Amino acid sequence: MATEYKTADPELAAMGERIRVQREALGMSQEELGFQVGTNKATIHLYETGEREMKWRRLRDIAKCLHTTVEQLMGEDDETEFVQDFDPQLLSACKNASQMDSDSIQKICWMLNTMTAGVSVSDNSMSNHA
């Protein structure tokens, strides 16, 4: 009896690729993402290869862990930028900040708000941040 392999759905495979790219841009392993969303490395691999569908709640949790939106992962939101598009030094600083206590994070937010007072996103030219 021959083993039957499931062929990945093209849309699921494309979404899985966006998940993989975003995960890797954050320097996160499949195991780490799996732990954060309540599953394992093998299941994350199946999502990333498009071999397994996921429930809405899991997709939402993955998007949150990857600092993006469900729409972006589904390829429906071209306006939202992936973390991979940001400056590597900024990504590194954010990753370090995610390990800080809430009081330290609040102080950093206060400093950023103070330093950028009066600067709007359009003035800051976020489209040229990379």
pLDDT tens per residue, range 49-87: 999 999 999 999 999 999 888 988 998 765 545 555 566
Q: What is the pTM of this model?
A: 0.59
Region 95-107: mean pLDDT is 72
The token pair that represents 37 in the structure block: 């969303």
Categorize the per-residue pLDDT at 6 as very low, low, confident or very high, splitting at 50, 70 and 90.
Answer: low
- Inter-CA distances, 35 with 5, 29, 69, Å: 26, 10, 19
Confidence at residue 26, expressed as pLDDT on a 0 to 100 scale: 86
Confidence at residue 101, expressed as pLDDT on a 0 to 100 scale: 77
Please report where in the chains the tokens 């400056």 appear, as a residue: 87
Asked if 44 and 38 count as a contact pair (C-beta separation under 8 A), the reply is: no
